[in-house]
């Protein structure tokens, strides 16, 4: 099954200069658009909040090692014209109804991914409910929750001063104590407000908007939409991190940075263990979705094919002409993949360091209905009173972008796999795109239902992270199979590249094995 008709009449000569290459990039930015909101903004900051700087090495490793798998999947896809799931189903092994183990596990991950998107659209709903409450109850709830979060931040800040985790002066300590006293009085006198439904209403509105865009939009629209939103918030976040270094109490020290890169583990007290805090578990779940998650690795070849890379190469031929086209467009794809890697790596590191420097030092962990408010704390040392507004705009941008792109990707995968497994006949391109549009609407609504009934965005994201981490070893092993058994030998990479493919696979295997063992142990323990 091929995504496009790779007829020889559609072939194009690849660009031979940097300007020409840059004009043909795009799938990587779509990929980045589906990453920043879930892995980076939510999961990565939580890992920083729980583990402080200890897992900086793991976060960086998670970004770097996956790009080799990403490129290798795309290499085989655009040279063969096959979609990712069709490729994965070619991996030897027992099959049920025409699908192997990898395909059926993808179905499980697919459900978890829809739950993840429920967490994403819930985050968007929370952001809009804070910035634009729809009801008087929503306004009162916002005020009550703001005071509660500010009180907790102030108490944690005082504890950090007293424990000398942050530099302080007698004046700072006195000021924070006075603020705590004032907030305690306000919170005590404030009438407890019932939880507002504004986040659900906003999430519903945004889901409807996303459905309209998904039905109306096309590849070019998705590409430009994601590029604008992701780049804007990434630049704001990186600026925030750089500006933070001018503030002594919040700056990331060289000692902390080196410590974070020394392959260490965070210390967890008995009390934290009893409370269920598991920085390693959070970090490994985050590993599955930071940088390029398993879901994005599978989706990337689809975007490459829709961009036209496979069509431009044309059907496989044992000719020098075909080989020249293939190598040329492979070069374009690699530029695209490495470019996206640079974007999401810088963004990931910025979010992790912000989470460790501010949330970790103050003991704030983003979760539940307070997730968005807690995350906005990361921007207060630099942007002051404007922090929440700036963060809310940025959070809306990247979260909505992530939701939009992820639903578009999952719909393409679902239509592909249902045809592959014989649930429906192989469609022509027009029928395929009609089915994709229907799935866009259905899956967006299902994701919304996950948020309505669970209402814990962080939990939904981390569940998906676990499933994607378990999927990674299967993808890593498949890539090695394609490399040694399927890829045209004239397109094979060198020994250094092969080494990195094996490193990627081993990293995936370690993470997947640990998480599987950990979850099974907890399950049988009750």
Pairwise CA distance, residues 488 & 330, whole Å:
13
Residues 222 and 182 in one domain: no
Q: What is the mean pLDDT of the chain?
A: 83
Q: Which tokens sit at 415?
A: 């239509």
207 shares a domain with 91? yes
Same domain, 140 and 109: no
Query: Do 287 and 471 form a contact (C-beta atoms < 8 A)?
Result: no
Contact 214, 407 (CB under 8 A): yes
The number of distinct structural domains making up the chain is 2
pLDDT band at 67 (very low <50, low <70, confident <90, very high): very high
**85 and 142 inside one domain:** no
Whether the pLDDT of residue 6 is over 80: the answer is no
Say which range, 279-288, 294-303, 309-318, 386-395, has the weakest mean pLDDT: 279-288
| pTM, rounded to two decimals | 0.83
CA 475 to chain centre: 17
Mean pLDDT of 79-104: 90
Lowest mean pLDDT among 131-140, 243-252, 361-370, 382-391: 361-370
**Mean pLDDT to the nearest integer, 309-324:** 91
Task: Map residue 96 onto helix, strand or coil.
Answer: strand
Q: Among candidates 143, 256, 126, 250, which has minimal Cα distance to 191?
A: 143
In this structure, is residue 39 part of a structural domain? yes
Q: Which residue has the higher pLDDT, 43 or 300?
A: 300
Same domain for 162 and 232, yes or no, is no
pLDDT tens, residue by residue, 101-144:
999 999 899 998 998 888 888 888 888 888 888 988 888 888 88
Select from 193, 220, 237 the last residue of a domain: 193
Q: Give the pLDDT score at 499.
A: 94
Q: 247, 381 in Cβ contact below 8 A?
A: yes
249 and 294 in a single domain? The answer is yes
Examine residue 1 and state whether it is found in any structural domain, yes or no.
Answer: no
In a domain, residue 88? The reply is yes
Residues 164 and 300 in one domain: no
> What is the pLDDT confidence band of residue 381, given thresholds at 50, 70 and 90?
confident
For residue 343, tell me if it sits in a domain.
yes
Assigned domain for 449 exists: yes
Does the residue 167 lie in any domain? yes
Do 503 and 368 fall within a single domain? yes
Residue 249: which pLDDT band, with cuts at 50, 70 and 90? Answer: confident
Looking at the domain assignment, is residue 515 inside a domain?
yes
Residue 30 in domain: yes
Could you list the residue range(s) of the whole structural domain that residue 57 is in? 8-134+197-524
286 and 175 belong to one structural domain: no
Query: Does residue 160 share a domain with residue 42?
Result: no
Band of pLDDT at residue 447, cut at 50, 70 and 90: very high
Percentage of the chain lying above the pLDDT 90 cut: 25
Q: Are residues 176 and 291 in the same domain?
A: no
Whichever domain contains 117, its CATH number is 1.20.1740.10
Q: Are residues 148 and 232 in the same domain?
A: no
pLDDT tens column, 393-402: 777 777 787 8
């Amino acid at each position: 099954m091929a995504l496009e008709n790779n007829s020889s009449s559609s072939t194009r000569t690849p660009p031979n200069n940097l300007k020409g290459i840059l004009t043909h990039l795009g799938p990587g930015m779509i990929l980045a658009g589906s990453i920043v909101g879930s892995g980076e903004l939510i999961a990565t900051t939580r890992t920083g909040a729980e583990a402080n700087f200890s897992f900086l090495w793991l976060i960086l490793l998670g970004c770097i090692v996956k790009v080799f798998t990403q490129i290798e999947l795309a290499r085989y896809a655009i040279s063969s014209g096959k979609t990712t799931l069709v490729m994965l189903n070619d991996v030897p092994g027992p099959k049920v109804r025409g699908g192997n183990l990898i395909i059926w596990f993808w179905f499980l991950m697919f459900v978890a991914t829809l739950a993840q998107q429920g967490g994403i659209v819930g985050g968007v709903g929370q952001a809009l409910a804070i910035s634009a409450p729809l009801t008087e109850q929503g306004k009162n709830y916002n005020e009550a929750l703001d005071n509660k979060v500010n009180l907790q931040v102030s108490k944690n800040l005082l504890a950090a001063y007293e424990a000398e985790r942050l530099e302080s002066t007698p004046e700072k300590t006195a000021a924070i104590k006075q603020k705590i006293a004032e907030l305690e009085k306000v919170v005590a006198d404030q009438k407890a407000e019932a939880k507002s439904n504004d986040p659900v209403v906003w999430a519903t509105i945004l889901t409807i908007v996303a459905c309209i865009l998904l039905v109306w939009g096309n590849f070019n629209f998705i590409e430009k939409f994601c590029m604008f939103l992701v780049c804007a918030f990434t630049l704001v976040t990186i600026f925030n991190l750089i500006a933070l270094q001018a503030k002594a109490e919040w700056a990331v020290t060289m000692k902390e940075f080196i410590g974070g890169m020394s392959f260490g583990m965070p210390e967890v007290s008995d009390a934290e263990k009893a409370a269920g805090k598991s920085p390693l578990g959070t970090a490994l779940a985050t590993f599955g979705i930071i940088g390029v998650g398993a879901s994005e690795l599978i989706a990337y070849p689809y975007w490459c094919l829709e961009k036209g890379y496979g069509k431009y190469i044309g059907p496989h031929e044992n000719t020098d002409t075909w080989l020249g086209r293939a190598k040329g467009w492979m070069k374009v794809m690699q530029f695209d993949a490495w470019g996206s890697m640079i974007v999401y790596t810088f963004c990931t590191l910025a979010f992790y360091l912000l989470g460790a420097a501010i949330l970790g030092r103050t003991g704030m962990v983003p979760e539940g209905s307070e997730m968005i408010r807690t995350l906005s704390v990361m921007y207060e040392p630099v942007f002051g009173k404007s922090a929440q507004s700036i963060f809310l705009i940025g959070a809306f941008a990247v979260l909505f972008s992530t939701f939009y792109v992820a639903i578009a990707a999952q719909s393409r995968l679902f239509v592909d796999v249902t045809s592959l497994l014989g649930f429906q006949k192989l469609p022509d391109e027009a029928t395929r795109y009609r089915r994709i549009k229907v799935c866009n609407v259905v899956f967006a609504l299902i994701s919304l239902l996950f948020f309505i009934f669970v209402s814990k965005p962080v939990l939904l994201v981390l569940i998906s992270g676990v499933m994607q981490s378990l999927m990674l070893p299967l993808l890593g092993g498949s890539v090695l199979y394609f490399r040694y058994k399927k890829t045209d030998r004239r397109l094979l990479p060198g020994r250094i590249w092969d080494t990195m493919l094996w490193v990627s696979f081993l990293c995936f295997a370690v993470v997947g094995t640990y998480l599987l063992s950990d979850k099974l142990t907890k399950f049988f323990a009750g």
